[in-house]
Amino acid sequence: MAHTDSGMELHDRFAIPGVLRIGAGNGELPCITVTAEPASAEIYLHGAHVTHFQPRGSTPLLFMSKSSQFAPGKPIRGGIPLIFPWFGARASDKTSPAHGFARLMPWDIESADLRADGSVRVVLTLASDDATLAQWPHAFSLRLIVIVASFLDITLEIRNRSAQEMQFEEAMHTYLKVGNIRQTTVEGLADVELVDKVAAGERRKESSEPIRFLGETDRVYLHTTSATTVRDVANSRLITVEKEGSDATVVWNPWIAKAKAMADFGDEEWPDMLCIESANALDCVVTLAPSATHRMRAKISVAPL
Ligand code: TA6
């Protein structure tokens, strides 16, 4: 499908009456709105970006900055940015966009289905083209499979379409909504090796205690496949992020100074969010043989505390 398909054409092709519609979202960007029995969600074709997920009877699970941009070529600040094919600043070229180009490009819709259990499955795609090959000389195809159920289940599938081996980093840079970061703790990363980006990349092991937040926190946990649980005390809920095909987990809160430094993030929004990112990054890059496919999956669910 050409990227030029308008929201109207996409709606005609993929709408599910009473369940899924496609129209102009923020910034007039094409947006898929899901109102399924178990949950509601929003997915922008821009970056295949899940911007909203709310299980029926619960409050939104994902944070979205009130100052976020919604514009071609610009990242959306909140929801689940898709990071590919490099994580953070590109070591080899500082002029490259941070976190790669996948979140900056318009994706296509492959399918949208209502399933027997009332959940909705949406598949979005992105293939390499001249623009991506100019930045990263590897032919690839990406598919994002999103299942909107009482939980949010997302899989990022990457296929190596070239005749050479490829190496890449990736992340589902998930912004969870919490009631107050100072009353929030994280479990599941005890004793795990980490790179602390707030301490000049210092490497150390996490303690055996739940992680608390007392300041800017930016850590890449390595060689961990475990689920992460966020105790969102202010909202009396437990948010769990299970994962497959991911060997790293990133934990990030910008705190006060970094919040002020980001134009697309409100100065007072930092207590309301915590990024728990299912990733393959730093020491945990993915090496993919020609014609091979790699899948990374995250399942985000909520339960009362
Ligand atoms: O995942 C944490 C991180 O790498 C932080 O260092 C911070 O830069 C954050 O991502 C947001 O990056 P962005 O490019 O979206 O502003």
Task: Please write the tens of the pLDDT for every residue from 184-203.
Answer: 999 999 999 999 999 999 99
Query: Mind listing the pLDDT tens digit for each residue in 227-253?
Result: 999 999 999 999 999 999 999 999 999
Which whole number is the average pLDDT over 284-292? 98
| The predicted structure's pLDDT at residue 2 | 42
pTM: 0.97
Cβ neighbours for 165, distance < 8 A, ≥ 6 positions apart = 287, 288, 289, 290
| CB of 175 sitting under 6 A from ligand 1 | no
Ligand 1 pocket test target in 99, 175, 250, 269 with most atoms within 8 Å of CB:
99
> Ligand 1 centre from 260 Cα, in Å?
14
For residue 5, pLDDT beyond 90: no
| CB of 88 sitting under 6 A from ligand 1 | yes
Residue nearest to atom 6 of ligand 1 (CA): 218
The average confidence (pLDDT) of the chain is 97
Record the tokens describing residue 287, joined without a space.
């090496």
d(CA 208, CA 211): 9
Task: Quickly state the pLDDT bin for 1 (edges 50, 70, 90).
Answer: very low
